[in-house]
Amino acid sequence: VSALPTVCLVGAGASGITTARSLSARGMDFDWFDRGDRVGGIWVFGSASGTAAAYRQLHINVSRERIEFADYPMPRSLPTYPHHTQLAQYFEDYVRHFGLDRTLRLRTGVEHARLTADGRWEVETDGGERRVYDALVVANGHHSVPRWPTPRPPGEFAGEQIHSHDYRDDSVLRGRDVVVVGLGNSACDIAVESSLVARSTHLSVRRGAHVLPKTMWRWPYDQVPGLEYALGKGIGVGRFGFQVPWRLRQLWMTMGHRMAVGRMERYGLPNPTHPFGATHPTISPRLLDSLLHGRIAPKPVIERLDGDLVRFADGTAARADLIVWCTGYEIRLPFLEPDLVPVHADNRVDLYWNVFSPKVPSLAFVGLLQPAAGSTMQISEGQGKWVAAHLAGDYALPPQQEMWADIERRRRLAAKRYVASARHTVQVEQFDFLWRLRGELHRGRRRVRRGVPGVSARAAS
């Protein structure tokens, strides 16, 4: 009898495929489901999953070297910031290269995953098939359920309102008077596309952001030499390693941004009142250009909707027939019992390092994060390896109360570091995470040697 647990893996986006690779590299027996018709998750334009958020002109805003998986470099023939079609192709090639497609069941959704009395998982697919597994790994993404502003601005709007999740291409913007709400990456992309084809484009922002260009001096912005140390990579090794203190890192990044881009008021945007690093980064050189060209008019928050007028908090108003709300996404885990891993109203999910449920060690999440600089791909790759080590019995989790204490400590830290917002409750800093993970894997191996039981020990018994 194999000592390795049987595993059900949900999702074949970037996070799912790298996890499948790690499970497969350890010789684990797993079933793998995705409701879409291709691997790649949100990067599959027009996916049959019906939930993918890619729009026609979407390019990733993290550079090639910061996206690629360690054991499968991206072809250097690809542009520095690939298009969604190139990314989806890379993910598909990755899956085929490692022979993972043999395990994957596409067009198959997981409807329910129920924890049984003996601590195993009964999984039911949308085809009505049921199977029991020792462990469940969830990589279902969190960009498929739109988050709308609450409360919505008062008043009635005579025009059309859409969420960025449903934006596909500029045909919806042509010749219209458009108000785009938000200053995240999708808001910037859509406002820029609107500025080229719409009659007018207003950009309504709640707070300032340190908008970054895609290159700084001679490098892609995320490859400026030494930046990884400002982003939390440690210096030195093992016990003798240390990280640059957070405040110094913030100062370093704020100064770098100020030198390369200048104050945001130069572009007509409010100057952020928070330091660099306190919000998810916005990368959009095209927004900066469009603002300087006068093609986009920045505005504060919407105070009221009034027929074909949108009234803003500064007392001004704009005629509009389309509002595009770029207000983010809700985290949802619809196939799990709600009280097993509660998702709070602010998108807070209480997991150990965003990965493990302290209550149920046979349940893990990959990709339940918002990268603060860096890419989801490389963080998910680290998480996938960690989960595989845990399931294979090479790593043991700390005791439950230690995990809860860590969750609480991280929540307090996040409250100090980041602007309070639903998108920052799952914020993870790539270099910081990967640096600390090395230490945690080491501690987990020591726990195994001390005889702390893992999931695989239970599977063997």
Q: Tell me how far, at minimum, the Cβ of 445 lies from ligand FAD, in Å.
A: 27
Residues 328 and 187 sit within 8 Å (Cβ to Cβ): no
Binding mask 299-338 for ligand FAD (x = CB under 6 A): ------------------------------------x---
49 binds ligand FAD (CB under 6 A): yes
Q: Tell me how far, at minimum, the Cβ of 27 lies from ligand FAD, in Å.
A: 23
184 binds ligand FAD (CB under 6 A): no
Residue 260, both tokens: 């390369």
Concatenated DSSP letters of 159-204: SEEEEGGG--SGGGTTTSEEEEE--SHHHHHHHHHHHHHSSEEEEE
354 binds ligand FAD (CB under 6 A): no
Interface segment toward ligand FAD; rule CB under 6 A; list 370-378, 381-389, 407-415, 436-444: 370-378
Count other C-beta atoms under 10 Å from residue 197's C-beta.
16
343 binds ligand FAD (CB under 6 A): no
Residues touching ligand FAD, count (CB under 6 A): 34
Q: For residues 14 and 209, which CB has a smaller minimum distance to ligand FAD in the complex? A: 14
Q: For residues 153 and 281, which CB has a smaller minimum distance to ligand FAD in the complex? A: 281
Q: Tell me how far, at minimum, the Cβ of 69 lies from ligand FAD, in Å.
A: 12
DSSP 252: H
Burial zone of 419 (CB within 10 Å; 0-12 exposed, 13-18 middle, 19+ buried):
middle
Q: For residues 157 and 329, which CB has a smaller minimum distance to ligand FAD in the complex? A: 329
Binding mask 414-443 for ligand FAD (x = CB under 6 A): ------------------------------
Distance CA 179, CA 296 (A): 10
387 binds ligand FAD (CB under 6 A): no
Residues 6+ apart with CB under 8 A from 169: 55, 56, 57, 193
Q: Distance from first CA to last CA of the chain, Å, rounded?
A: 10
61 binds ligand FAD (CB under 6 A): yes
60 binds ligand FAD (CB under 6 A): yes
Burial zone of 431 (CB within 10 Å; 0-12 exposed, 13-18 middle, 19+ buried):
buried
Q: For residues 141 and 182, which CB has a smaller minimum distance to ligand FAD in the complex? A: 141
**Which amino acid belongs to residue 327?**
T
Residues 6+ apart with CB under 8 A from 389: 26, 395, 441, 444
Nearest to 180 by CA among 45, 168, 167, 171: 167
* Buried-state track 442-453, b at ≥16 Cβ within 10 A, e below 16: eebeebbeeeee
Q: Tell me how far, at minimum, the Cβ of 376 lies from ligand FAD, in Å.
A: 4
Among 21, 22, 36, 355, which residue sits at the site for ligand FAD (rule: CB under 6 A)? Answer: 36
Residue with tokens 């340190």: 210
Binding mask 138-177 for ligand FAD (x = CB under 6 A): -xxx-x----------------------------------
182 binds ligand FAD (CB under 6 A): no
Q: What is the side-by-side order of every strand in the sheet holding 302-307?
A: 155-157, 302-307, 309-312, 317-319
Q: Tell me how far, at minimum, the Cβ of 33 lies from ligand FAD, in Å.
A: 5
89-128 positions binding ligand FAD, by CB under 6 A: 109-110
Q: Using CB under 6 A as the criterion, which residues of the chain lie in contact with ligand FAD when the complex forms?
A: 10-16, 33-36, 41-43, 49, 51, 53, 58, 60-62, 109-110, 139-141, 143, 185-186, 335, 367, 371, 375-376
